[in-house]
Amino acid sequence: MTHRRWFTPWLLVAPALVWLAVFNIWPSVNTVILSFTNAKPLGGGHFVGLDNFHRALTDDQLVDALLNSIVYMLVCLPLLTLLPLLMAVLVEKKLPGITFFRTAFYTPVIASAVVVALIWGWVLDDRGLVNGVTQQLGLAGGPLPFLTDRWLLLFSAIGLTVWKGLGYYMVIYLSALGNVGRELHEAAAVDGAGAVRRFYHVTLPGVRSTMLLVSVLISVSALRVFSELYILSDGTGGPGGRDMSVVMLIQMYSRGFTGHLGYASALSLLLFAVTIGPMLLLLRLNRKAA
Amino acid sequence: MRRHWAQPAVAVIAAMTLAGCGLGSTGASEDAGGQVTGEVKGKVSLQTWALKPKFTDYLQSVIDAFEKKYPGVQVDWLDQPGDGYSDKVLSQAAGGGLPDVTNLPPDFALPLVKQGLLLDVAKADPKLAEDYVAGGVDAYRFAGRTGAYGYPWYLNTDVNYWNSELLTKYGLDPKKLPTSLDELIAQARTVKEKSGGKAYLMSRKPGLGDLANAGVRIMSEDGRSFTFNTPEAAALLDKYRDAYKQGLLPQDVLTDKYAGNAKLFNAGAVAWTTGGGNYITGLATDNPSLAPKVVPSPAMGTPPLYVQGLSVSQRSKNLPAAIALARWVTNAENQAAFAHLTSIFPSTKASAGDPFFSRSDGTNAGDAKVIAFTSLAKAAMLQPVQVDGAMSDIVNQQIALAVSGGTTSRKALDDAVAKCNQLLQN
């Protein structure tokens, strides 16, 4: 006779539940608790009510950081949604040597973000490759301030993100394009549609849900940008810290012996509130499409 | 059924709790003045910062000699890598596992002192002030608190280093080196003009140390507020802003690339840098052709004092042994032996007469060592230990903003002080 106990399933999922509780749920709950205190890493914090949130909302550093993160998202979003799709359409064709191009486009994805940012830092430095070439060719009188001008630094980091992300999203689109029926393209071609019309009327509707997914992934990761700006600016966020992202701001306040964990937690919750926007938008768009 | 195991469990917890009450008993005792006395015995842990493998033999021999002197003691030596050392100490402290003796610079020690984790060694060991130089001990005294919370171990300071070849090439005399900011800016202008902007003399933005050097008081005496937003500080930043505008500094100095200063110097693109007393020795490996052309000179104004020390955990189970170990590692003989291996300077008063530090062998590296050693007499910690990472970032950002012309020097300083005060009071 098989003797089943009610807790057997719970025992099986217990390790996963413990893992989830310790490493996911508790840190999230703790962040909320900390955001109402002036806690330090070595303890000693006490309840300060909404002080941290009030301070954050009147902090010009947060305004700058939020603006940078939003500009980052708004520029990355169209570029990383459309360019990988175009690349995927190009490399989807079965041509001799196409595997080489697919691999080449994907290579930056597997490189570490830190290493890539360091290399770009050297390339864009005052004494780097780009400035060396522009000055040799007489295109600029002095070095262009890619890493020291507020907006140039931000757009340099955006360029890096786009370059590194193209291959990743291209692969997602490649799998989606595989599901668009070949017969639809053939039918459209028979009806006299050219390549552009087929792309607009067949390909795009076929990958619409993938585009939505990609858009959300890009939006969330752009709002959470850190490595690119941190390394290109050597941790300072550019002169005056005007190119800091919200994540850099959180890092600045939370690190070290005297980290200001309460304030950093409040900033984290504000970032969470901002990041959840694209997710809700996706849900809404998905529902509409359905 | 449950009561079968519940009762023994409660008994075990109660027994452990009661036993725990006796865990602090070490055989150590304090006399009326707070001095810790008792037998030096038991197990003690010593934590150092990035000394292995280069100095493994040295420190192991120091530990062996200590164990030989006190046969009842067993030292457990732990060396942490340089990267992430503060995080490691932080997790140890937060988890209640701080080693008995830990290498802590003063800024790392202060937060631990605030939590009551470090022993007041001035109270526990009244001979502290007699044996160690005042600057070293003072580094472990913190505003608003009595006592000292670490044995100063080794000291260092900065020396100016000049590329004599570049200076000569661009019309300057290596025998007439700048001794003030105004002279530095004037000579930087000459280098810029004669090199056509290809070489620089200055390649770092100012920091709190430069403000302190200009006579600006960084903090109030009680350590409760910052006070560096003065007209003198603004005037100093204005000088840097004008120099930056004139192209006397590379553009990228504003992105906290101070380490880049030394890199540019090593590459021969910049004619001035600052570094510790052994800078030329390291340079001889990185750029052997440049090293002989380097001329050292004393730092401008008050030289900065860099202090490393050993602190004792307040919760050490073997306090007499921990104190004896910290004192042993930092005594004059052991510090002198360490200083002979690398270019650091001892913090004991007995080391002052050691000719190894006070006489040059005639090389520029030897001259630099002597300059550094003699500078220690007037060296001081220019940046208050209360300045933590976030404050440091804010100050750097605001100074960079002022130097770039993004805001006025006065406003940048006012903003930095306001934000730092907010963090200090939090």
Q: What is the CATH number of the domain that holds B263?
A: 3.40.190.10
> Chain B within 8 Å of A242 (Cβ-Cβ)?
yes
Residue B6 in any domain: the answer is no
Residue B326 in any domain: the answer is yes
Residue B4 in any domain: the answer is no
Minimal C-alpha gap between A42 and chain B (Å): 6
Q: Is pLDDT above 80 for A99?
A: yes
Residue B409 in any domain: the answer is yes
* Tens-place pLDDT, residues A179-202: 887 888 888 888 888 888 888 888
Question: What pLDDT, on a 0 to 100 scale, did the predictor assign at position A20?
Answer: 95
Taking an 8 Å cut-off on Cβ atoms, the answer to whether A148 and B255 are in contact is: yes
Answer for the pair B39, B324: CB distance below 8 angstroms, yes or no: no
Taking an 8 Å cut-off on Cβ atoms, the answer to whether B403 and A256 are in contact is: no
Give residues with Cβ within 8 angstroms of A132, minimum separation 6: none
> Chain B within 8 Å of A230 (Cβ-Cβ)?
no
Residue B381 in any domain: the answer is no
> Chain B within 8 Å of A182 (Cβ-Cβ)?
no
Taking an 8 Å cut-off on Cβ atoms, the answer to whether B252 and A148 are in contact is: yes
Q: Which of B254, B269, B388 sits opposite A258 (nearest CB)?
A: B388
Question: How many other CB atoms are found less than 10 A from the CB of residue A195?
Answer: 11
Question: What pLDDT, on a 0 to 100 scale, did the predictor assign at position A50?
Answer: 95
- Quick one: closest CA in B to A143, which residue? B251
Range of the domain at B229: 206-248+388-426
Which region, left, alpha or beta, applies to residue B242 given φ > 0 means left and ψ of -120 to 50 means alpha? Answer: alpha
Taking an 8 Å cut-off on Cβ atoms, the answer to whether B90 and A234 are in contact is: no
What pairs with residue B313 in β-bridges?
A: B118
Residue B30 dihedral angles phi and psi, to the nearest 5°: -115, 135
Minimal C-alpha gap between B105 and chain A (Å): 12
Taking an 8 Å cut-off on Cβ atoms, the answer to whether B251 and A143 are in contact is: yes
Q: Do B109 and B55 lie in a common domain? A: yes
> Chain B within 8 Å of A145 (Cβ-Cβ)?
yes
Question: What pLDDT, on a 0 to 100 scale, did the predictor assign at position B144?
Answer: 84
* CA angle in degrees (0–180, nearest 5) for B242-B246-B250: 100
Q: Which of A43, A127, A236 sits opposite B115 (nearest CB)?
A: A43
Rounded mean pLDDT, A126-140 = 88
Q: Do B110 and B187 lie in a common domain? A: no
Residue B413 in any domain: the answer is yes
Taking an 8 Å cut-off on Cβ atoms, the answer to whether B401 and A239 are in contact is: yes
Q: Which of B111, B404, B406 sits opposite A42 (nearest CB)?
A: B111
Taking an 8 Å cut-off on Cβ atoms, the answer to whether B86 and A235 are in contact is: no
Minimal C-alpha gap between A71 and chain B (Å): 21
Taking an 8 Å cut-off on Cβ atoms, the answer to whether B389 and A258 are in contact is: yes
Q: Which of A125, A127, A236 sits opposite B256 (nearest CB)?
A: A236
- Quick one: closest CA in B to A251, which residue? B390
Taking an 8 Å cut-off on Cβ atoms, the answer to whether B86 and A234 are in contact is: no
- Quick one: closest CA in A to B85, which residue? A256
Q: Do B292 and B320 lie in a common domain? A: no
> Chain B within 8 Å of A235 (Cβ-Cβ)?
yes
> What CA–CA distances, in Å, run from A213 to A18, A179, A275, A288, B51?
30, 16, 15, 14, 50
Q: Do B172 and B152 lie in a common domain? A: no
> Chain B within 8 Å of A125 (Cβ-Cβ)?
yes
Give residues with Cβ within 8 angstroms of B12, minimum separation 6: none
Answer for the pair B137, B152: CB distance below 8 angstroms, yes or no: yes
Q: Containing H/E element for B162?
A: strand B159-163
Question: What pLDDT, on a 0 to 100 scale, did the predictor assign at position B56?
Answer: 96
CB–CB contacts below 8 A, A to B = 106
Question: What pLDDT, on a 0 to 100 scale, did the predictor assign at position A72?
Answer: 95
Is this model's pTM higher than 0.90 or not? no
Minimal C-alpha gap between A93 and chain B (Å): 45
Cβ neighbours of A239 in B, within 8 Å:
254-255, 397, 400-401, 403-404, 406
> Chain B within 8 Å of A126 (Cβ-Cβ)?
yes
Cβ neighbours of B400 in A, within 8 Å:
236, 239-241
Q: Do B23 and B90 lie in a common domain? A: yes
Q: Do B292 and B310 lie in a common domain? A: no
Question: What pLDDT, on a 0 to 100 scale, did the predictor assign at position A148?
Answer: 85
Residue B174 CB-density burial (10 A; 0-12 exposed, 13-18 middle, 19+ buried):
middle
Q: Do B18 and B71 lie in a common domain? A: yes
Q: Which of B257, B397, B403 sits opposite A234 (nearest CB)?
A: B257
Chain A contact probe: residue of B108, B254, B258, B394 with most A CBs at under 10 A: B254
Minimal C-alpha gap between A15 and chain B (Å): 24
* CA angle in degrees (0–180, nearest 5) for B77-B100-B117: 145
Q: Do B177 and B268 lie in a common domain? A: yes
Answer for the pair B125, B35: CB distance below 8 angstroms, yes or no: yes
**Which architecture does CATH list for A48-289?**
Orthogonal Bundle (1.10)
Query: What is the token pair recorded at A258?
Result: 């005297």
Residue B25 dihedral angles phi and psi, to the nearest 5°: -70, 120
Per-domain residue ranges of chain A: 48-289
> Chain B within 8 Å of A260 (Cβ-Cβ)?
yes
* CA angle in degrees (0–180, nearest 5) for B116-B122-B123: 75
> Chain B within 8 Å of A42 (Cβ-Cβ)?
yes
Q: Do B27 and B102 lie in a common domain? A: yes
* CA angle in degrees (0–180, nearest 5) for B109-B110-B112: 70
Q: Which DSSP letter does residue B253 get? A: G
Q: How far apart are CA A24 and CA A28, in angstroms?
A: 6
> Chain B within 8 Å of A252 (Cβ-Cβ)?
yes
Q: Which of B107, B407, B423 sits opposite A260 (nearest CB)?
A: B423
Question: What pLDDT, on a 0 to 100 scale, did the predictor assign at position B36?
Answer: 76
Residue A192, SS3?
Answer: coil
- Quick one: closest CA in B to A38, which residue? B426
Taking an 8 Å cut-off on Cβ atoms, the answer to whether A240 and B250 are in contact is: no
> Chain B within 8 Å of A97 (Cβ-Cβ)?
no
Residue B75 dihedral angles phi and psi, to the nearest 5°: -100, 130
Q: How far is CA A236 from the centre of its chain?
A: 20
Question: Which ipTM score applies to this complex?
Answer: 0.83
Structurally, chain B folds into a number of domains equal to: 3
Q: Do B193 and B323 lie in a common domain? A: no
pLDDT in tens, chain B (426 residues): 344 444 444 343 333 333 333 333 345 666 655 677 778 889 999 999 999 999 999 999 999 999 999 999 999 999 999 888 988 999 999 889 999 999 999 999 999 999 999 999 999 999 999 999 998 999 999 988 889 999 999 999 999 999 999 999 999 999 999 999 999 999 999 999 999 888 999 988 999 999 999 999 999 988 899 999 999 999 999 999 999 999 999 888 887 666 678 888 998 889 999 999 989 988 998 899 999 999 999 999 999 999 999 999 999 999 999 999 999 999 999 999 998 888 789 999 988 888 888 889 999 999 999 999 999 988 999 999 999 989 999 999 999 999 999 999 999 999 999 999 999 987
Taking an 8 Å cut-off on Cβ atoms, the answer to whether A255 and B389 are in contact is: yes
Q: Do B171 and B293 lie in a common domain? A: yes
Q: Read off the pLDDT band of A64 (50, 70, 90).
A: very high
Minimal C-alpha gap between B255 and chain A (Å): 6
Average pLDDT of chain A, as a whole number: 89
Query: What is the token pair recorded at B411?
Result: 């406003």
> What CA–CA distances, in Å, run from A89 to A189, B143, B185, B408?
16, 67, 58, 53
Cβ neighbours of A260 in B, within 8 Å:
390, 423, 426
Q: Which of A240, A257, A260 sits opposite B426 (nearest CB)?
A: A260
Give residues with Cβ within 8 angstroms of B102, minimum separation 6: B46, B47, B89, B310, B311, B313
Q: Do B93 and B169 lie in a common domain? A: no
Locus of tokens 């390549």 = A195
Question: What pLDDT, on a 0 to 100 scale, did the predictor assign at position A68?
Answer: 94
* Tens-place pLDDT, residues B19-73: 333 333 345 666 655 677 778 889 999 999 999 999 999 999 999 999 999 999 9
